[in-house]
Amino acid sequence: MDIAKAAQAGDTTLEKDGLKLFLEERAKQMLMSTTIDFNDNQGFVLTGMQQNNSCGGSCSC
């Protein structure tokens, strides 16, 4: 996960209440049914994320 000012070629852009989220194709597949929320104590909280072992299990967000 990183902060970007604009989408890169091939990214999908989602927008909700003025917040834009740019997803690479591989991230889009993993986050299809994921809810992303923000908690003051925890930061970003992702629920419902699909497991994807295409990175060898060593990925982190």
**Tens of pLDDT, residues 1-56:** 788 899 999 999 989 898 898 988 888 888 888 888 889 999 989 898 776 555 54
Q: What is the pLDDT of residue 40?
A: 94
The answer to whether 11 touches 22, Cβ cutoff 8 Å, is yes
Least Cα distance to 60 among 40, 42, 46 occurs for 46
**pTM of this structure:** 0.56
